[in-house]
């Protein structure tokens, strides 16, 4: 009789967990995956990446029709918003993809264990009445919204919501206040602004999008302002009262000073996310979290407890679906005795607004701390395709090591920056120099030519500016 029920048990079926389970099964390991939600796919498929992109895409069409972008191209329409239908296509997109993961589990013979799991010991996990043993357990429990003291979220009333509530608003709020000028705030703030809400973003820091390149943060702020989003930077929210369908927020300058109030029909709390470790029974296996609540791991994703590994949002690093997926593949490969590889220095990040904002590698600020650099920049205004498509906003910026010319970071603001950044990630993965990119033939007319021209600009020789 086998010593354990499974070779691998993965806890959590988000992009980290479900990918780890599928890869482990593909590698011949007997695998189960526990999920507390009713459907597979985790935050990303159910209430994150996918439904937010469904709403971003649909609202982009609405604005193109209403705001004049289509009229500019000779398409004159007067759009009427059918929000119910817009939500239906969001729900359909989510349903199709979560069912798809279910299909992949069946195809690869991954057993789906339904219920919230907790450790009994390092090799034994319990879901309600059921207990399962596994040689290796992978914790992929993801993250959930960071609460803001004094601002109580109640997604059922749609007045003070988190991202999950903000995806489902049954009507367009007249006035929406977003607390936190990060990725969620800007993406979901953009959705409701396009559909007609007046949106104000209250951000604690003196600039939006922390962690991104300084030039990108400034330019993005300018573009969002031009689109009609208002910003209260350097401001902290100190409280919120709700009366009926209205919220009143109290706020003051982050550095201290007189407080003021702001009324809203909807308040979105998006000040970050925290790792999910509560209820997992980590105390039963003596596994401690760090001061940010994350589970620390080594390069093979091993925790301090033998037989227990962790991946995705629950461990340090950017909270991104593709990072979780790559770690899912790598952890399964390590468990199977292979070498799993994730290059944590080359993880692209994308904000799916219009234009999109994307980056990979070091910011100019960070790169400068490490030594001499060179920077090449090229405006989208000078890119023929962007110009033809009436998409003049943004730029590409390439940062290289001054001595070796090796690319250290690439940042783009462009309508399709999320797609363009993949090229930069491949280049960096292969240790490319700006010269390598500049001498690579790029198809014309494409937005990606701006990457080639920014690479040419590193040595001062772009053609089109």
Q: How far is the CB of 361 from ligand NAI (least distance, A)?
A: 16
Q: Is 43 in the site for ligand FAD (CB under 6 A)?
A: yes
Q: Which is nearer to ligand NAI, 268 or 331 (CB)?
A: 268
Question: Longest C-alpha distance within the chain, in Å?
Answer: 72
- Single residue of 24, 132, 237, 268 touching ligand NAI by CB under 6 A: 237
Q: Are strands 31-35 and 6-11 parallel, antiparallel or unpaired?
A: parallel
Nearer to ligand NAI, 357 or 362 (CB): 357
DSSP string spanning 114-155? ES-EEEEETTEEEETTEEEEEEEEEE---EEEPPBTTB---T
Which alpha helices (H) appear in 256-315, and where do they start and end?
282-285
Is residue 239 involved in binding ligand NAI (CB under 6 A)?
A: no
Asked whether the beta carbons of 8 and 311 are under 8 A apart, the reply is no
The CB-of-20 to ligand FAD minimum distance in angstroms stands at: 9
Spot the catalytic one: 299, 344, 390, 444: 444
**Binding to ligand FAD by residue 434, rule CB under 6 A?**
no
- Beta pairing class for 373-379 and 6-11: unpaired
According to the annotation, is 11 in a ligand binding site? no
- Give the whole-angstrom CA distance, residue 6 versus residue 3: 9
Residue 115 is assigned to a ligand binding site: no
Residue 458: which of ligand NAI, ligand FAD, none does it interact with, CB under 5 to 8 A by kind?
none
186 labeled binding residue: yes
- The reply, when asked if residue 184 is annotated as ligand binding, is yes
Which residue among 110, 320, 362, 425 contacts ligand NAI (CB under 6 A)? 320
195-234 mask for ligand NAI (x: CB under 6 A)?
-------xxxx----x------------------------
Give residue for tokens 């607004």: 353
Q: What residue 271 binds from ligand FAD, ligand NAI, none (CB within 5 to 8 A, per partner kind)? A: ligand NAI
Q: Please report whether residue 112 would count as binding ligand NAI according to CB under 6 A.
A: no
- Find the shortest distance in angstroms from Cβ 296 to ligand NAI: 18
460 in a known ligand binding site: no
Chain center to CA of 231: 21
Q: Strand 273-275 to strand 175-179: parallel, antiparallel, or no bridges (unpaired)?
A: unpaired
377 binds, options ligand NAI, ligand FAD, none, Cβ within 5 to 8 A by partner type: none
Rounded distance between C-alpha atoms, residue 73 and residue 19, angstroms: 42
Query: Which structure tokens are listed for 146?
Result: 């960071």
- 208/115 Cα distance (integer angstroms): 38
**Residue 366 appears among annotated catalytic residues:** no
Site string for ligand FAD, 129-168 (x = CB under 6 A): -----------xxxx-------------------x-----
Within 10 A of 144 (CB to CB), how many other CB atoms are there? 16
Backbone angles phi, psi at 318, to 5 degrees: -65, 145
Q: Does 176 bind ligand NAI (CB under 6 A)?
A: no
Considering the complex, what minimum distance in angstroms separates the CB of residue 207 from ligand NAI? 8
Q: Does 169 bind ligand FAD (CB under 6 A)?
A: no
Return d(Cα 39, Cα 84) in angstroms, integer. 22
> How far, CA to CA in Å, does 121 sit from each of 308, 365, 437?
10, 45, 51
Position among 24, 25, 54, 117 found at the interface with ligand FAD (CB under 6 A): 117
- Least Å from the CB of residue 266 to ligand NAI: 16
Cα–Cα distance between 226 and 222 in angstroms, integer? 6
Task: Please confirm whether the linkage preceding 445 is cis (ω < 30° from 0).
Answer: yes
202 and 293 Cβ atoms separated by less than 8 Å: no
Query: Which residue of 165, 180, 181, 312 would you call a contact of ligand FAD, by CB under 6 A?
Result: 312
Least distance (Å) between residue 84 CB and ligand FAD: 21
Comparing CB distances to ligand FAD, the nearer of 324 and 421 is 324
Rounded distance, CA 100 to CA 458, Å? 44
Scan for tokens 């960071």, then name that residue. 146
Which of 26, 36, 198, 459 binds ligand FAD (CB under 6 A)? It is 36
Q: Where are the alpha helices (DSSP H) in 279-363?
A: 282-285, 321-335
Binding residues for FAD: 53, 141-143, 313, 319-322
Residues belonging to the binding site for NAD(+) are: 180-187, 203, 272
Q: Using CB under 6 A as the criterion, which residues of the chain lie in contact with ligand NAI when the complex forms?
A: 148, 179-185, 187, 202-205, 210, 236-237, 270-273, 318-320, 349-352
Binding site for ligand FAD (CB under 6 A): 11-17, 34-37, 42-44, 48-49, 52, 116-117, 140-143, 163, 184, 276, 279-280, 312-313, 319-322, 324, 352
Give catalytic residues, as residue numbers: 444
């Amino acid at each position: 009789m086998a010593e354990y029920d499974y070779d691998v048990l993965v806890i959590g079926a988000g992009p980290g967990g479900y990918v780890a389970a599928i890869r482990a099964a593909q590698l011949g390991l007997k695998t189960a995956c526990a999920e507390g939600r009713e459907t597979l796919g985790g935050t990303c498929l159910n209430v994150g990446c996918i439904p937010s992109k469904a709403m971003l895409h649909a609202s982009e069409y609405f604005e193109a029709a209403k705001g004049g972008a289509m009229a500019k191209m000779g398409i004159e329409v007067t759009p009427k918003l059918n929000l119910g239908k817009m939500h239906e296509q969001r729900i359909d997109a989510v349903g199709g993809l979560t069912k798809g993961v279910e299909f992949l589990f069946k195809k690869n013979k991954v057993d789906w264990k339904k219920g919230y799991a907790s450790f009994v010991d390092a090799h034994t996990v319990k879901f309600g009445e059921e207990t399962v043993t596994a040689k290796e357990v992978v914790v992929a429990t993801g993250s959930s919204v960071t609460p803001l003291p004094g601002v109580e979220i109640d997604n059922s009333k749609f007045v003070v919501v988190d991202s999950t509530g903000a995806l489902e608003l049954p009507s367009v709020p007249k006035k929406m206040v977003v607390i936190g000028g990060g990725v969620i705030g800007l993406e979901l703030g953009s959705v409701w602004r396009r559909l007609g809400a007046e949106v104000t973003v209250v951000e604690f820091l003196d600039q939006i999008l922390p962690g991104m390149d300084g030039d990108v943060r400034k330019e993005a702020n300018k573009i969002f302002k031009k689109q009609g989003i208002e910003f209260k930077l350097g401001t902290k929210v100190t409280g919120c009262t709700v009366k009926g369908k209205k919220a009143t927020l109290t706020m003051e300058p982050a550095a201290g000073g007189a407080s003021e109030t702001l009324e809203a029909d909807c308040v979105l709390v998006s000040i970050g996310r925290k790792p999910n470790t509560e209820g997992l029974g980590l105390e039963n296996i003596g596994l401690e979290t760090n001061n940010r609540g994350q589970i620390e791991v080594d390069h093979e994703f091993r925790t301090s407890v033998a037989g227990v590994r962790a991946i995705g949002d629950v461990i340090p690093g950017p909270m991104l679906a593709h990072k979780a997926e790559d770690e899912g593949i790598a952890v399964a490969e390590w468990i199977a005795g292979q070498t799993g590889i994730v290059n944590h220095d080359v993880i692209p990040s994308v904000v799916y607004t219009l234009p999109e904002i994307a980056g990979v590698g070091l910011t100019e600020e960070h790169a400068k701390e490490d030594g001499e650099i060179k920077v090449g920049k090229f405006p989208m205004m000078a890119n023929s395709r962007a110009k033809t498509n009436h998409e003049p906003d943004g730029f590409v910026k390439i940062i290289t090591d001054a001595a070796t010319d090796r690319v250290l970071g690439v940042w783009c603001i462009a309508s399709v920056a999320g797609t363009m950044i993949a090229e930069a990630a491949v280049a960096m993965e292969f240790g490319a120099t700006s010269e390598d990119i500049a001498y690579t033939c790029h198809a014309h007319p494409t937005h990606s030519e701006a990457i080639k021209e920014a690479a040419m600009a590193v040595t001062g020789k772009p053609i089109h500016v």
